[in-house]
């Protein structure tokens, strides 16, 4: 979710690249198959057949995306969107028998409070994407060379080049069992020439993503500030993870997968996914949408996110959940403690606080 120094020529050039890329990809996909693939048994809650019913049941709870405001992502960039049917045809990245786990790699130094947020982010990612999560030991940011750093020419903050982190820091370190390796840094990011900064960036095909918490606020300024910082961190992490699973920006609903061009727009979008994007997620990771809502509601309750808790409880009921108090997460496998991934033996795991 970036912010750009915009000019009309740059806008036109980017729009042309997006349209041509989508058209070419669409042509390849149509030649491969004219029907949606179905690799899951029809009776399962995560099958395409069942998820189409889920989309219909949840649609009344969601708000359609209105006309973009000046400076919003879709006011700047013309994007085609992606339906559930289109997602199924694009051969999306999904977990495999070997690639099952989200790894989170902290890059650089973090305060005690920021470290607490990282641990909550690991827990939340596991509930949101319904897969195991492992928080790794931090790596020093000295591995980022001078040509992948800069001081912002107008604002003065230090920044790391996000494409370098994706290709040179994360891709070579992707564990053998990694569904994704997701980097988090407290230093600001920028994606290249013509851009001011980026909240996060991910690859649609290489199972890597990165986000910065630099612009998320001051978590030590009281409970409300902490919740705001945490909410922003969770939203960016889950948004970029959606891209790793081949999800494009949502253009249909107010949704966590909507693009954002500024902080106001990012804060305006919800933490939940729209029915179409939720169906993509559940199909990709073989998740029961109803039970996912129940477990997320328990997390939101504990974190003090009342709007998100209420939304999940309503969604749970809309899918036939019992009208009772949402229970705590009863999963027996919490996010694993920090340490080395399976294919990187060596140092022992750092004890969790």
Residue 123 forms part of a structural domain: yes
pLDDT category at 48 given cuts 50, 70, 90 is very high
Residue 187's nearest CA partner among 167, 210, 169, 213 is 213
Q: 200 pairs with which residues across the strands?
A: 211
- Helix (H) / strand (E) element for 107: namely strand 101-107
Q: Is the pLDDT of residue 34 over 90?
A: no
pLDDT of the residue at 268: 94
What's the pLDDT at 45?
83
Cα(346)–Cα(196) distance, integer angstroms: 39
**Domain membership flag for residue 1:** no
Bigger pLDDT: 204 vs 346 = 204
Closest by Cα among 101, 133, 180, 185 to 299: 133
Q: What integer is the mean pLDDT of 83-97?
A: 95
Question: How many independent structural domains does the chain possess?
Answer: 1
Residue 342 pLDDT: 54
pLDDT interval class at 240 (50, 70, 90): very high
pLDDT of residue 255: 97
Q: Which of 3-17, 111-125, 142-156, 160-174 has the lowest mean pLDDT?
A: 3-17
Question: Which of 150-159, 167-176, 295-304, 326-335 is least confident?
Answer: 326-335
pLDDT higher at 45 or 101: 101
Question: Is the per-residue pLDDT at 23 higher than 70?
Answer: no
Query: So what's the pLDDT on residue 46?
Result: 87
The 10s digit of each residue's pLDDT in 120-150 is 999 999 999 999 999 999 999 999 999 999 9
Given the structure tokens 């996912």, which residue do they identify? 292
Tell me the backbone φ, ψ of residue 59, rounded to 5 degrees: -50, -40
What pTM, to 2 d.p., does this model score?
Answer: 0.81
User: Is the four-CA dihedral 49, 50, 51, 56 of positive or negative sign?
Assistant: positive
Residue with the larger pLDDT of the pair 106 and 347: 106
Report pLDDT for 42: 58
Residues whose CB falls within 8 Å of the CB of residue 215, separated by 6 or more in sequence, listed in order: 188, 197, 199, 232, 263
pLDDT of 12 reads 28
Residue 37 lies in a domain: no
> Mean pLDDT, to the nearest integer, of 323-329?
52
Residue with tokens 């980022």: 144
Domain with 171 in it: 93-245+331-353
Can you give the pLDDT at residue 338?
Answer: 54
Q: What token pair was written down for 338?
A: 């920090």
Name 87's Cβ contacts closer than 8 Å, sequence gap at least 6.
Answer: 246, 247, 280, 283
Of 39-53, 126-140, 177-191, 245-259, give the lowest mean pLDDT range.
39-53
Is residue 30 in a domain? Answer: no
Structural domain contains residue 79: no
Q: What is the pLDDT of residue 117?
A: 98
CATH number for the domain including 222?
Answer: 3.40.390.10
Residue 144 lies in a domain: yes
**pLDDT (tens digit per residue) in 180-189:** 999 999 999 9
pLDDT digits (tens, 9 = 90+) for 327-352: 444 444 444 455 555 544 333 333 33
What are the C-alpha distances in Å from 190 to residues 70, 210, 246? Answer: 22, 11, 22
Which range among 3-12, 15-24, 28-37 shows the weakest confidence by mean pLDDT?
15-24
Domain assignment present for 194: yes
Predicted confidence band at 286 (pLDDT cuts at 50, 70, 90)? very high
Give percent of the chain with pLDDT exceeding 70.
79
Q: Across the chain, what does the average pLDDT equal?
A: 84
Q: Report helix, strand or coil for 341.
A: coil
Q: Is residue 185 part of a domain?
A: yes
Alpha-carbon separation of residue 284 from 32, 40, 88, 247, 338 (angstroms): 20, 10, 9, 10, 26
């Amino acid at each position: 979710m970036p912010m750009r120094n915009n000019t009309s020529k740059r806008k036109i050039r980017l729009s042309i690249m997006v349209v041509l890329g989508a058209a070419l990809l669409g042509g390849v996909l149509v030649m491969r198959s004219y029907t949606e693939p179905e690799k899951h048994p029809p009776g399962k809650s995560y099958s395409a057949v069942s998820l189409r019913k889920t989309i219909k049941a949840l649609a009344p709870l969601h708000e359609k995306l209105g006309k973009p405001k000046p400076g919003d992502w879709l006011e700047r960039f013309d994007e085609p969107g992606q339906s559930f049917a289109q997602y199924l045809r694009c051969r999306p990245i999904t977990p495999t028998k070997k690639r099952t786990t989200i790894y989170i790699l902290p890059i650089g130094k973090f305060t005690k409070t920021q470290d607490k947020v990282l641990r909550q982010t690991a827990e939340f990612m596991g509930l949101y994407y319904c897969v195991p999560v492992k928080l790794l030991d931090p790596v020093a940011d000295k591995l980022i060379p001078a040509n992948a750093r800069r001081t912002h020419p107008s604002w003065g903050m230090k920044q790391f080049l996000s494409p370098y982190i994706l290709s040179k820091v994360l891709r070579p370190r992707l564990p053998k069992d990694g569904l994704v390796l997701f980097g988090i840094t407290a230093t600001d990011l920028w994606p290249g020439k013509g851009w001011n900064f980026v909240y996060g960036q991910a690859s649609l095909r290489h199972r890597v993503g990165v986000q910065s918490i630099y612009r998320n606020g001051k978590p030590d300024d009281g409970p409300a500030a902490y919740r705001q910082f945490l909410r922003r961190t969770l939203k960016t992490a889950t948004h970029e993870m959606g891209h790793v699973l081949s999800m494009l920006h949502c253009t249909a609903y107010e949704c966590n997968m909507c693009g954002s061009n500024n902080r106001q727009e990012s804060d305006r979008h919800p933490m939940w996914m729209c029915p179409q994007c939720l169906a993509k997620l559940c199909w990709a990771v073989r998740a029961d949408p109803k039970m996912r809502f129940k477990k997320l509601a328990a997390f939101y309750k504990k974190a003090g996110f009342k709007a998100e808790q209420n939304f999940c409880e309503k969604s749970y009921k809309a899918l036939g959940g019992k009208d009772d108090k949402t229970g705590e997460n009863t999963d027996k496998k919490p996010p694993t403690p920090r340490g080395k991934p399976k294919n990187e033996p060596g140092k022992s795991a750092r004890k969790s606080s």
